[in-house]
A and B are shown apart, each in its own frame.
Chain A
């Protein structure tokens, strides 16, 4: 098994196939060889019997033995010799045995006639006990012979047996025929095997070809070449299907990889801008602006803003990375009205004197992570506050839906145009209007973070917005 494991799939399949083929062909060959041999032998024996039967009957009539009822009749050796002689031919020799098993007559006279084998006691006893068709194979001087034992009865089916005739015939002819037959069989088997193995290997090779190209692609991809695709000829077999789903998988991977790269590039970009501000401001200060109090004040305020922006970026990135592993979501039952009573203080700080109302909805218990819920609300609230004029109110309310609750945050601000709406949830995306209007520059992570956080808790988020009228963000949470 160890050795098999080391082979390639192709070699393994080929080997298995070849072994099976050889095994079955050899079994069939052996069986047919044996079958022919049996056929020849039974043919030969029935031939001999057919020839012997009239001779024996004739001899019985000639010797007036047909009517005999004497169980102890002794065979006359001379008469028995006549019978043996009649039954003997060029390739067959007959001997007559009495009930004791002694040879009383041997038909062999001429030197070219074969020799009779020594009677076998076991078979003799069977013949003597009345068995008609005792046939067995034996050897004389190393040559194979077929031996037939015929019980000598006065009449057919008479229980009385006064001796046994042993006829033996040489099997050398049959052997010869069989040998010829065998060699033919072997060469046929060899040809079949060669053809079978060659076509088998070819077939295996053809069907494994797609697998090979799959392997090549895998190697390419492991080197980082994600544009690689597997081309398949046959789309219906298992390998074809594997290749198709492999291609789909790679497509997904490629997309994920690209978005990951984009994300990292975006992060770098977002880091670089505040860092540029910080470095530049510091250098200008150190170069001498520090001696001018007003320049000092302006630059340090700017630096403070940039540092805060960096901190916010880091926090949001941390939040995103925490969400990637769902283990950081600790759901627990939350009574919404109680939660919002606590949240109000946080919200008020963020609103900084602006009109913010939290409208109590029906009594509901949701299953959510309170920290995440708070962050979602803070993100959405800061958007609503940032993208709407100071005088306009921001409203939070909730509504009961089947099996879930929907929380809404509405403002009466600038709203989003179609393009912003379609990209709002993408990390680092910022609407054009937003970048012009807001004095405090955002990062573009707020909504994508909120979306991840809502989804991590099994909810959904969507935005309805009309440019110039206002925006409402809806998100759902599952009920307890």
Chain B
């Protein structure tokens, strides 16, 4: 996980009335390691806010009981500087400014992509100092620099293709997690990549060669499922 303390998860409150949007937000964000609390309206959201502490609020502009701006102002009035990410629809473009005026920190226009949502969330958390995302990912002797996009092992530079870099980054961000080939394909080559999953095996074998990854592998093959990353292997 990219937080400084793994057991202490980032808590996100979702205030959105559409059940399907709530569903995918919850599922997707949980997968990314966030702790998510859904609530379907302004009042419910506010109640949830009283009971627990949150690091970020995702707020829909169109709510059944009140509109999102009022909720936003209300939150700002009585509480804190929790980052608020507003979800709007195009026709409220002029409302964007209003949204930021009312205290929202950022907005996202529906239909947004989940990747963009994640990026915004991360940016907001970083800005508010709730996560200290290190610019480097470490696994034993392997160091992956997110800014320069360079990988070194024992200080020696390893040349990786963008796909291989993406794979390694994914693995290092989610240690021990088992990825299917399908998922790896989608995450690294894009959701609309048409082609067999064999290509992933090819990339993985290249990556293992370049990392000089001998058994027991850092990148382990999980039989009949996919791959998982075990950083403790790097120590050997």
Q: For residue A287, which residues in chain B have a CB less than 8 angstroms away from its CB? A: 28, 31, 114, 183, 186-187
Please tell me if the beta carbons of A268 and B90 are within 8 angstroms of each other in the complex: yes
CA distance A197 to B180 in the complex (A): 95
Q: Is A100 an interface residue (CB 8 A)?
A: no
Nearest chain A CB to B21 CB, angstrom units = 5
Question: Which of the residues B19, B110, B178 comes within 8 Å of A276, measured between beta carbons?
Answer: B110
Q: Is B197 an interface residue (CB 8 A)?
A: no
Identify the closest chain A residue to B179 (Cβ): A288
Nearest chain B CB to A121's CB is how many angstroms away?
A: 105
Q: Which B residue's beta carbon lies closest to that of A275? A: B111
**A21-29, A146-154, A295-303 - interface stretch:** A295-303
Closest to B32 in A: A287
Instruction: Say yes or no: is B89 at the interface (Cβ < 8 Å to chain A).
Output: yes
Residue of A with least CB distance to B21: A277
Are A435 and B28 interface neighbours, CB within 8 A? no
Contact B27 A269 (CB under 8 A): no
Confirm or deny: A345 has a beta carbon within 8 angstroms of a beta carbon on chain B: no
- Decide if B180 touches A291 in the complex (CB within 8 Å): yes
Instruction: List B residues 106-157 near A (Cβ within 8 Å).
Output: 110-115, 117
Give the contact-size bracket for chain A. Answer: 20 to 34
Within 8 A of B (CB), among A270-285: 272-284
Whether A436 contacts B65 by the Cβ 8 Å rule is yes
Contact B20 A286 (CB under 8 A): no
- The 5 A-B residue pairs with the shortest CB-CB distance in the complex, in nearest-first order: A277-B20, A284-B28, A302-B20, A283-B114, A276-B111
10 contacts between A and B (CB under 8 A): A269-B89, A280-B117, A283-B114, A286-B186, A288-B183, A288-B186, A289-B28, A299-B24, A299-B27, A432-B65
Residue ID in chain B nearest A435 by CB atoms: B64
**Do the beta carbons of B180 and A288 come within 8 Å of each other?**
yes
Query: Cβ of A273: which chain B residues have Cβ within 8 Å of it?
Result: 18, 21, 89, 110
In contact, B28 and A302 (Cβ under 8 angstroms):
no
Give Cα A268–Cα B114 distance, bound, in whole angstroms: 20
Question: Of A298, A302, A306, A435, which is within 8 A of B17 by CB?
Answer: A435
Interface check A365, CB cutoff 8 A: no
Residue among A266, A276, A284 with the highest chain B CB neighbour number at 10 A: A276
Known contacts A273-B89, A291-B183; A302/B19 CB under 8 A: yes
- B49 CB to closest chain A CB, in angstroms? 20
Least CB distance, B187 to chain A, in whole angstroms: 6
Output the least CB separation between B88 and chain A (Å). Answer: 10
> Which chain B residues border A274 with CB–CB below 8 Å?
20
Supply 18 further A-B pairs (C-beta < 8 A) apart from A277-B24, A283-B191, A287-B31.
A265-B91, A272-B90, A276-B87, A277-B23, A280-B25, A280-B111, A281-B23, A282-B191, A283-B113, A284-B28, A287-B187, A288-B180, A290-B182, A291-B183, A298-B27, A299-B27, A302-B20, A432-B65
Interface mask (B66-100 → A, CB under 8 Å = 1, otherwise 0): 00000000000000000000010111000000000
Give CA–CA (A298, B24) in the complex, Å. Answer: 9
The answer to the question of B38 belonging to the interface, with a C-beta cut-off of 8 Å to chain A, is no
Q: For B114, give the chain A residue with the smallest CB separation.
A: A283
CB proximity of A381 to chain B, nearest CB, Å: 24
Q: Which of A266, A268, A295, A306 contacts B20 (CB 8 A)?
A: A306
Partner of A298 from B23, B113, B180 at Cβ < 8 Å:
B23
Residues of B within 8 A of A298 (CB): 23, 27
Q: Is the interface of A mostly helix, strand, loop or mixed?
A: helix
Given the complex of chains A and B, what is the CA–CA distance between A241 and B24 in angstroms?
61
Of residues 1 through 49 on chain B, the ones whose CB sits less than 8 Å from some CB of chain A are 17-21, 23-25, 27-28, 31, 41
Q: Which residues of B are found within 8 Å of A435, using beta-carbon distances? A: 17, 64
A44 at the interface (CB under 8 A from B): no
Which residues of A come within 8 Å of B, CB atoms? 265-266, 268-269, 272-284, 286-291, 295, 298-299, 302-303, 305-306, 432, 435-436, 441
Q: State how many angstroms separate the Cβ of B196 from the closest Cβ of chain A.
A: 16
Contact partners of B178 in chain A: CB under 8 A: 291
Q: List chain A residues, Cβ under 8 A from B41.
A: 436
A276-B110, A289-B28 are contacts. A299–B23 as well, Cβ < 8 Å? yes
In the complex, chain B residues whose CB is within 8 Å of the CB of A268: 89-91
- Whether the pair A295, B27 counts as a contact (CB closer than 8 A) is yes
A284-B114, A432-B64, A435-B64 in contact; A276/B21 too (CB < 8 A)?
Answer: yes
Q: Which of A265, A282, A288, A441 contacts B31 (CB 8 A)?
A: A288
Determine the residue in chain B with the shortest Cβ distance to A265. B91
Set B18, B31, B115, B191: member contacting A277, Cβ < 8 A: B18
Contact B28 A272 (CB under 8 A): no
Please tell me if the beta carbons of B20 and A305 are within 8 angstroms of each other in the complex. yes
**How far, in angstroms, from A432 to B42 measured CA to CA in the complex?**
13
- Residues of B contacting A291 with CB < 8 Å? 178, 180, 182-183
Q: Which of A279, A287, A295, A303 has the most CB of B within 10 A?
A: A287
Alpha-carbon distance between A316 and B91 when the two chains are bound, in angstroms: 21
Once the chains are docked, how many angstroms separate the CA of A323 from the CA of B128? Answer: 54
Looking at the assembled complex, report how far the CB atom of A444 sits from the nearest CB atom of chain B, in whole angstroms: 12
Taking a contact as CB atoms under 8 Å apart, the answer to whether B114 and A290 are in contact is: no
Chain A residues within 8 Å of B114, by CB: 279-280, 283-284, 287
CA distance A290 to B186 in the complex (A): 11
A283-B65 CB under 8 A given contacts A276-B112, A302-B19, A302-B23: no
Q: In the complex the two chains form, what is the Cα distance from A282 to B192 in whole Å?
A: 11
A279 touches B111 (CB 8 A): yes
B154-192 interface with A by 8 A CB criterion: 178-180, 182-183, 186-187, 191
- By CB atoms of chain A within 10 A, which of B17, B19, B87, B112 has the most? B19
Residues of B with C-beta under 8 A to A277? 18, 20-21, 23-24
Beta-carbon nearest neighbor of A284 in chain B: B28
Closest to B108 in A: A276
Residue of B19, B27, B90 ringed by the most chain A CB atoms within 10 A: B27
- Chain A residue numbers with a CB within 8 Å of B31 are 284, 287-289
Complex Cα spacing A287 to B112, Å:
15
A280 touches B24 (CB 8 A): yes
Residue of A nearest to B109 (CB): A272
